[in-house]
Amino acid sequence: MRYLIRFGYDGSHFYGFQRLKNKVSVQKTLEDALTIINKKLVEIKGAGRTDIGVHANCQCAHFDLDMNIPEGRLKKAINSIVHPYIHIVECRKVSHDFHARFSVKKKKYVYKIWCGAYDPKKYDYYLLYDKKLDVDKLKVCASVLIGKHDFHNFVSGSRDNYDMEIENIEIVENGEEVDIVFTGKSFYRYMVRNLVGAMLDYHEGKCDILLLQKMLNNKDFDYQLSCASAKGLYLEGVYYG
């Protein structure tokens, strides 16, 4: 029986999502719990990987069990083992051709920036930025990044293809907090963090729009801007419909 789970986690307590030898990861924690329930080894397939320190309000994964367990009972059983830093918010049966990664239609990431007075309780959950952000200036930069581009200058690691489309970037200001919301089908490794770093570099006058356009439109031009901290990044939504 194949199941899909939606869950959140506090990334400050894990060495990223992906299973790693001798490291506490989200994937390994969930697989250990499911193996206890199934009484046989279970592997999960996530909708994507998050790096060390990155959080999730809506991550998804699928897995197969040898038994048919009611969704509500399975959700409760998993939560009883993986708490307090992972919480399953939904568990449902899906068809055997469903894949948590390859069936994704859209993802949403939120990057949280705190511009107020230093607060140690926010250290693991925001980029603590000691300057006032000009939201209108960030929106100008965002308008350049939206759309189909070659994002090789904003991705860590080597890929065969760096083409991708960002559907929307929304800047949300709420008091001393500024959230940058990214929506698109897929995002490559470190991509959101590199985009936020570039937006902040632009905000601080370290680069201009012409440089950003060249980084996006010239496949032969290699240039590196800042990479924002993992702590402010959240996987906020995974959509299949």
The residues assigned a catalytic role are: 51
- Whether the bond between 120 and the residue before it is cis, its omega within 30 degrees of 0, is no
Q: Which two tokens stand for residue 27?
A: 């994937």
Q: Under DSSP, is residue 159 helix (H, G, I), strand (E, B) or coil?
A: coil
* AA letter at 91: C
At residue 31's C-alpha, the angle toward residues 26 and 33, to 5°, is 100
Q: Which residues pair with 107 in a beta bridge?
A: 184, 238
Nearest to 51 by CA among 7, 16, 82, 13: 16
Torsional sign, CA 90, 96, 100, 106: negative
Local structure of 198: helix, strand or coil = helix
Residue 133: CB atoms within 10 Å: 19
Q: Three-class SS of residue 59?
A: strand
Tokens for 204, please give them. Answer: 């601080």
- CA 5 – CA 56 distance, rounded (Å): 13
DSSP 63-110: EE-SS---HHHHHHHHHHHHTTTEEEEEEEEE-TT--TTTT--EEEEE
